[in-house]
Amino acid sequence: MSGNILNTFSLFQKLDYRDKENSGFKKITGIFIAYLFSNTLLSYNFSRIFDERSYIIMCLTANLFLVSMIVINDFDNLFLSARNKNKLDLFPIKSEEIFRAKFLSAVVFLFIFISAASLPQLLFFYFAGNNLFLTLSFFIVNILFCYFAIGLITLAYSIIILFFKKGSPVFLALFQVLFFAFVFFSSGTIGRNADAGSFFFSKIDLTEIGYVNFLPQTYFSFSVYDTLWFFYLMAACIIVMTVLFLFFAAKYDSLFQNLISLRKKKSGAVRFPEFGRTVNKLSGLLTAGNSEAASFILVKDHLKNSPFLRLKYIPLLFIPVIVVLVGFVTNPAEFLFFKPSKESLWIFKSAVTPVSPAVTMTLFMCARLLISNSKIADENSQGTGWIFHSLPAGNVLSYIKGVNSFIFFLLVLPVVFLICILLSFAADFLTVILNMLFISSALFFIISVASLFDKTIPFTLESSKFSSATKFLEVILSVFIGLIVFLIQIFIFQNIIFVISASVFFITVSFLLNRN
């Protein structure tokens, strides 16, 4: 390896682990805390529900989505160093040397994410069997599978950028849908098995589901126990990463140019004049004060003019609907509504049948990610925070409340109404109405309370600041909050009066919080 490559690699190592506000140590510490916390919750739930082999499959699948979100969301800077490319071109370094150094730096950088995600999984795996050798084998297999997945997904995404540039947003949206489908499956399974015992005794065996046996992570789970499988799949991982390296080496400049053209290309504004006039009228009814109304309308204008932000919003709106449709296709009675077993405690047997926790969690995730995405600035209008600070009236909380009101009333509530219509085909209308009333009012209450502690100005955060670690933690926290709401729902749904009273309480307190 030449001196230029080593020096450039060292430079990338310093740049990758820091940003404008955080030092390398602070950023890495934040990554570790985010992934340790989120994956601890996931691993604990997996260990309660699935047997040992299925636990491995679920952990590998979770890591598949984890590393893939990192790669897709930060592809241009992770492998191509787009952020620093113009500066690097000033140095007497060949493009090939820059690529090799960046590729190696990306591999090392991703290893930190993989390690942070794997640690909680290893702990629960070891506590279940107390077998240090198998735990070490599981760790190595975890690393191999993550790099195998990185290689395949990065290769697919690169091909799309090279030959089907307009398909890159579709690829990202599809991947988000698959991720939510995974969360739906895992959380739905957890909800249907709330009385499961501890660790791997008498748990669900995923290999009994036909298509699971054809997934790559299932084959990798074999290699935890079988040495021959281990070497086969290690060879597969090396081959995939080698192919990716050679592909990048041959297409590095073309990939970079295509990415630049994608960033510069601007779509025309979406024109819905009637919708715009309606939003302007609603801003006075749903907000308190001029600052809130202005930020309410600002969201509409951003969605109209920014394809970057439309991509952040629109796919999320379809995900709860897709989850419900998947439930219809599979088993509506089991996947869309909570059906306790005959042996369950009396407290789980409600007068009103609650919807599945997967539906509740998905709605909460959708709303939370919509609010989080409202913090991200358009890629062509970075550094606009000073505008909000220079305004003579209002404060940050007013702007946040206005944005949150738009998201809840004009984005989330229409999705709730659509889900309400769909669920009406699987249960009586009163049951569906009570469920959606309680969930939407609880969601409105949580959004209103959370806004009091939110200090981030809308549409000012650089997309690089909202890292995959942050997104992953947002999803896990949303699942956790959704699960708490579901447990509260079981108690409240013992009586219809309780449901209506709780909903009225949530709505009243939320309006009071938003008006003050």
Domain interval for residue 81: 3-183+213-260
- Residue 489 has which token pair? 């729902």
Same domain, 26 and 102: yes
The whole-number pLDDT of residue 1 equals 54
303 lies in some domain: yes
Report the alpha-carbon distance of residue 345 to residue 355 in Å, rounded: 18
Please report whether residue 380 resides in a domain. Answer: yes
The per-residue pLDDT for 124 is 92
How many other CB atoms are found less than 10 A from the CB of residue 276?
A: 13
pLDDT score at 169? 73
One domain, residues 253 and 376: no
Q: How many Å apart are CA 58 and CA 35, to the nearest integer?
A: 16
Q: Are residues 77 and 140 in the same domain?
A: yes
Task: Please indicate, yes or no, if residue 148 is contained in any of the structural domains.
Answer: yes
Cα dihedral across residues 147, 149, 154, 159: positive or negative: positive
Q: Are residues 256 and 300 in the same domain?
A: no
Same domain, 256 and 291: no
The answer to whether 110 and 70 are in contact (CB under 8 A) is yes
Whether residue 290 sits in one domain with residue 230: no
Tell whether 121 and 161 lie within a shared domain. Answer: yes
Question: Which one of 200, 235, 260 terminates a domain?
Answer: 260
For residue 193, the 8-state DSSP code is T
Taking the C-alpha atoms of residue 218 and residue 413, their distance in angstroms, rounded to an integer, is 39
Segment (H or E) for 300: helix 290-305
Residues 383 and 277 in one domain: yes
Residues 289 and 251 in one domain: no
The verdict on 313 and 434 lying in the same domain is: yes
- From 454, 455, 441, select the one nearest 510 (Cα to Cα): 441
Establish if 196 belongs to a structural domain.
Answer: no
Q: Which of 321, 284, 1 is nearest to 181 (CA)?
A: 321
Per the structure, the count of domains in the chain is 2
- Residues 66 and 121 both lie in one domain: yes
Q: Of 14, 155, 176, which is closest to residue 81 (Cα–Cα)?
A: 14
Nearest partner of 333 among 356, 361, 359, 363, judged by Cα: 356
For residues 16 and 107, the answer to whether their CB atoms sit within 8 Å is: no
- 200 occurs within a structural domain: no
Q: Which tokens is 445 given?
A: 């209450």
Q: What is the pLDDT of residue 230?
A: 93
pLDDT at 20: 55
CB atoms within 10 A of CB 124: 21
CA distance 493 to 378: 43
Query: So what's the pLDDT on residue 469?
Result: 58
From 260, 295, 320, give the residue that closes a domain.
260
> Does the residue 172 lie in any domain?
yes
Q: Where are the alpha helices (DSSP H) in 164-225?
A: 168-192, 216-222
pTM of the model: 0.75
The enclosing H or E element of 7 equals helix 3-16
Is residue 191 one of the residues assigned to a domain?
no
Please check whether residue 192 lies inside any domain of the structure. Answer: no
pLDDT digits (tens), the chain, 516 positions? 566 777 777 777 777 665 555 555 566 676 677 777 777 877 887 888 888 999 999 999 988 888 887 788 778 778 877 666 666 766 777 777 777 888 888 898 888 888 888 999 999 999 888 889 999 999 999 999 999 999 999 999 899 888 887 777 778 777 777 776 776 666 555 555 544 444 444 578 888 877 888 889 999 999 999 999 999 999 999 999 999 999 988 888 888 788 777 666 554 555 556 667 788 888 888 888 888 888 888 888 888 887 777 877 888 888 888 878 877 877 666 678 877 655 554 455 667 888 888 888 889 988 998 998 888 877 666 666 667 667 655 577 888 899 999 999 999 999 999 999 999 988 889 999 999 999 999 999 999 999 988 888 888 876 655 555 566 667 777 878 888 898 888 889 888 999 999 999 999 999 998 876
Is there a contact between 375 and 459 (Cβ–Cβ < 8 Å)? Answer: yes
Place of tokens 């390896």: 1
In a shared domain, residues 172 and 286: no
**Between vectors from CA 281 to CA 277 and to CA 286, what angle results, nearest 5°?**
135
